[in-house]
Chain A
């Protein structure tokens, strides 16, 4: 799935402009503050996950030690340290969502894709994850895929979303 070992890792010109924009939000010398946004962007640009090579590249851009990037990348749940499906279906499983059928949605989706929760389909299209509260409890059950919240989920909605994603067929990751 990843071609990062063979190809030189470098942001596209558009992504480079975004990196500059992120850095410009912080005072002179405080560019490390932009790391959270840059890692989101890196994930979107480089195959949907953060390989050690990608993290080293981010360290180089920010002129900080690679360990400073690893520290951050390993702390936050939205950074993936292993390859994931093009579409990561993050279904909220906490309290209120659980009261309104989150477990059934996870089970249905996994069964339909022939995988267990946390796994990726063999074709690399989908990963299903149970995640913690996404602040959409009033529209439970719900899931996040990339930038989008999909709410009031039913089996039918899952069916049509999966069809839609298969048709689109692109790496879905959100960045600011």
Chain B
């Protein structure tokens, strides 16, 4: 792709772009002017629907459709809440966006709040990123001083108060109803749905919760029209996506890619990830969309089961279902080279889910602990061959049996690791003393 489409990060390297003044000079806040002065709120929603924008937090639910569900009839106050609780291992694109381009998020929040008819909105950022909370607070203060927030914005009669607030360390608060609970000053226990937040969310009022990157995509859509946005990308994967890349690659970082980029080019081109971090170490496995999505061996990541090259799209990465495919998820991409022990990596991730389970649903509370314990036993040379099927069984019993998707997120990495790398688990169990040594890894 010669001409790279960048609609979020095109100004990221402009000195001072984090200030209102410089951001405004580069066309910032145009979408607020356009929407508030020339469009009806439902027209804004209509453009977002036309754009085909899908939730960038991981689930990929159409953003415009989510907005259209919000209860506008009851007369209750409506809220827009931005989900900046980015905590999915491998994902760091929202932190990048918020810290580098804080005004893009604030602009998106104003335009989006107008669309759903919210007069009070929040940006909720995970507590660990407290320095980002301060960056966003500064941007909000600047926007308010310039008349883009507060009463009667730009003389249009539209009022909006926007605040930034924080969490205090809980992956689960990335789940939208847990986030709402946290915003209400409670433990982050997900709520049973329905009712969905669009009907009864924050303080029991209609609420839309959107990911940072989704909100940041709205200014482009409003400025250029939903149809223009939909021209970017491939099929139902419209627009651009931020991919945060890490692990055993040459060029870790955040990349804004046009959806539809061939995965081979993304992984191996020096313009992108540049392939393996070491020339003599081959990449063995990829987790393409955050730690929750199924791990794939390199071959299945590059090509689907029919041997066709995959693309960076929601559809292409999930081609083949869980048997041979994975998911685009949050765009948290990490690569593992041939020296990586898949058993250890799976244990590491299961420890994460066990630590982060809120404890509300027993299949997740107990199951994540069992997954971690059994995986640790195998990893440290105390496993039995029957443990492999036990892990599959535990994962199956968690999946689909919990209030929120954390249970699924904990089960999928284990199920997929065994599906594609069963031989590594068997080798660990057959060679306990060898496998328990630091750095031990199965070799074909």
A133 to B246, CA, bound (A): 13
Interface size on A (CB < 8 Å)? 44
- Assess whether B60 is interfacial by the CB under 8 Å rule: no
A72 contacts B185, C-beta separation under 8 Å: yes
Given A147-B131, A175-B130: A96 in contact with B90 (beta carbons within 8 A): yes
- Assess whether A94 is interfacial by the CB under 8 Å rule: yes
B95 contacts A135, C-beta separation under 8 Å: yes
For B121-132 the 0/1 string (1 means CB < 8 A from A) is: 010001111110
Task: Give which listed residue, A32, A94, A134, contacts B185 with CB less than 8 A.
Answer: A32
B244 contacts A138, C-beta separation under 8 Å: yes
Q: Which residues of chain B (326-368) have a CB below 8 Å from chain A?
A: 332, 334, 336, 340, 344-345, 348-349, 352, 355-356, 358
Task: Give which listed residue, A34, A36, A176, contacts B134 with CB less than 8 A.
Answer: A176
B166 contacts A176, C-beta separation under 8 Å: yes
User: A146 to nearest B CB, angstroms?
Assistant: 8
Q: Which residues of B have CB within 8 Å of A138?
A: 92, 244-246, 252-254
- Assess whether B289 is interfacial by the CB under 8 Å rule: no
User: A173 to nearest B CB, angstroms?
Assistant: 9
Task: Give which listed residue, A32, A36, A78, A96, contacts B165 with CB less than 8 A.
Answer: A36
Q: Which residues of A have CB within 8 Å of B244?
A: 137-138
- Assess whether B6 is interfacial by the CB under 8 Å rule: no
B340 contacts A99, C-beta separation under 8 Å: yes
- Assess whether A13 is interfacial by the CB under 8 Å rule: no
A176 contacts B133, C-beta separation under 8 Å: yes
A26 to B334, CA, bound (A): 38
User: B221 to nearest A CB, angstroms?
Assistant: 26
For A122-142 the 0/1 string (1 means CB < 8 A from B) is: 000000000011111111100
A96 to B87, CA, bound (A): 13
B188 contacts A75, C-beta separation under 8 Å: yes
A140 contacts B246, C-beta separation under 8 Å: yes
B95 contacts A147, C-beta separation under 8 Å: no
- Assess whether B47 is interfacial by the CB under 8 Å rule: no
User: B159 to nearest A CB, angstroms?
Assistant: 14
A36 contacts B248, C-beta separation under 8 Å: no
How many A-B pairs have beta carbons closer than 8 Å: the answer is 156
A99 to B439, CA, bound (A): 11
Task: Give which listed residue, A40, A95, A175, A176, contacts B90 with CB less than 8 A.
Answer: A95
- Assess whether B419 is interfacial by the CB under 8 Å rule: no
- Assess whether A37 is interfacial by the CB under 8 Å rule: yes
Given A95-B345, A139-B252, A140-B246: A33 in contact with B352 (beta carbons within 8 A): no
Please name the residue on chain A nearest to B345 by beta carbon. A95
- Assess whether A157 is interfacial by the CB under 8 Å rule: no
Please name the residue on chain A nearest to B134 by beta carbon. A176
User: B86 to nearest A CB, angstroms?
Assistant: 5
- Assess whether A100 is interfacial by the CB under 8 Å rule: yes
Task: Give which listed residue, B94, B167, B185, B246, contacts A96 with CB less than 8 A.
Answer: B246
Given A95-B348, A137-B246: A132 in contact with B188 (beta carbons within 8 A): no
Q: Which residues of B have CB within 8 Å of A63?
A: none
A32 contacts B184, C-beta separation under 8 Å: yes
- Assess whether B137 is interfacial by the CB under 8 Å rule: yes
- Assess whether B247 is interfacial by the CB under 8 Å rule: yes
Q: Which residues of chain A (124-171) have a CB below 8 Å from chain B?
A: 132-140, 144, 147-149
